[in-house]
Amino acid sequence: MSEELNKIVAKLGGAFDEFKAENDKRLDEIESKGKADPLLENKVNAINAAVGELSKEKDRLDKIEAALNRGDLGGGGGANEEQKAQAEHKKAFGSYFRKGIEGDLRNLEVNASLSTQVDEDGGFFVPEEVDTEIGRVLQDMGAMRSLARVQPIGSATFKRLHNMSGATSGWVGEEEGRIKTGTPKLKELAFQAMELYAEPATTQGMLDDSAFNVEQWLADEIALEFSEQESNAFITGDGIKKPRGLLSYNAIANGSEKFGELGFIASGAAGAFNGSDALIDLFHSVKRGYRANANWMMNDLTFAAIRKLKDGNGDYLFKPGLMEGETFQLLGKGVEIDDFMPDLAANSLSIAFGDFRRGYMIVDRMGVRVLRDAYTSKPYIKFYTTKRVGGGLNDSNAIKLMKFTV
């Protein structure tokens, strides 16, 4: 563990101990007087926020150390043929980006393993470094991309069959005849990649400046825009010209839902928690086979409220995760923060729990494309940049929700 990470862990442990002590005082005042002193409430909220920020910083440092341990951040020997091809492609892309010179860029895309097919949409693939940087920001912005199954595809739609029911196996004695098993009911699921676009613009003067890093500029201009759009769509998208979001599917009281609907547990209060029992009920509403790789997902404000909750034994449900590589823990499972999840409100679906890799699928069509436009907005040069991505529910049994209602 690095010295910087050690310092953050020590601060996090100290902040969490202080939070518990002050929050215990707050709870005692509520029990004895019916309400807590406003100054104490503010102090508890400030420490709670600090615990959240320190936990995020620890998670960031954990990811950096993990990347260093994998060798993702540099090193290595001489360039192989593919790396040489990628360097040639990057140089040619720079000429196209700055001057509009296409040259042999199309063939260089194939040599650099960026494309294996004829481009039917126009535009050229960005260099690998730009694509990687965009991918990094996409994963950091919202939790869904890091939790869900991400399926690269080479066509517009990815299809798979889901076995709804029906026996496809059975038990039999050594000398008994084999009885024909039932015919499974299969449902075809289709995940279509939709086009997400951005159109940053600059001037020819900027492009002519040799100090102007065109790849970094493009990545900076579009990465945040792409990440915000798709992260929001993975949660609330209606499926029309965009991915279908997790919360766009029908939410039904747990036990009454059909395939393609998500079961929910009621929190016991409108827009609030009524103790910790509902969280425990939500945890156990997910079948054991899905719980093995399950995570919680909620936004930061919801998680701040959960950090104040205790179980029936007076222990805090939340654990800050002080070991290297350990993340926020709630009832022994990791907590992922996605600020596109809704705030606590009456009837809101503000918490999801389950195996997101089995429950939700994201489809990524290969590469980010750029089409240079030097004519329609003179003197500005626009770069029509597109990415194709889709998403939807893959197995509705794998994820359950909490609805903040009585």
* Residues 349-402: tens digit of each pLDDT: 999 999 999 999 999 987 889 999 998 888 899 999 999 999 999 999 999 999
Find the mean pLDDT for residues 52-56: 84
| Calpha distance 256→254 (Å, rounded) | 6
56 compared with 250, residue with greater pLDDT: 250
Same domain, 200 and 349: yes
Residue 312 lies in a domain: no
Asked if residue 75 has pLDDT above 50, the reply is no
Residue 321 lies in a domain: no
Structural domain count of the chain: 3
Same domain, 131 and 233: yes
Is residue 23 within 8 Å of 66, Cβ to Cβ?
Answer: no
Whole-number percent of the chain with pLDDT over 90: 43
| Calpha distance 337→341 (Å, rounded) | 9
pLDDT band at 278 (very low <50, low <70, confident <90, very high): very high
268 compared with 319, residue with greater pLDDT: 268
Same domain, 153 and 247: yes
Which pLDDT score is estimated for 118? 47
Q: How many CB atoms lie within 10 A of CB 26?
A: 18
Same domain, 93 and 199: no
Which pLDDT score is estimated for 91? 87
Domain with residue 198: its CATH number is: 3.30.2400.10
Which pLDDT score is estimated for 178? 61
CA angle 223, 245, 347 (to 5 degrees): 120
30 compared with 320, residue with greater pLDDT: 30
What is the pTM for the complete model shown?
A: 0.78
Same domain, 224 and 293: yes
Residue 153 lies in a domain: yes
320 upstream amide cis, omega within 30 of 0: no
Q: What is the full DSSP assignment across 250-292?
A: -EEETTS--TTSEEEEE-EETTEE-SSHHHHHHHHHS-HHHHT
Which pLDDT score is estimated for 344? 96
- Mean pLDDT, all residues of the chain: 85
CA 20 to chain centre: 30
Which pLDDT score is estimated for 313? 85
Same domain, 133 and 110: no
Asked if residue 254 has pLDDT above 80, the reply is yes
Which pLDDT score is estimated for 76? 47
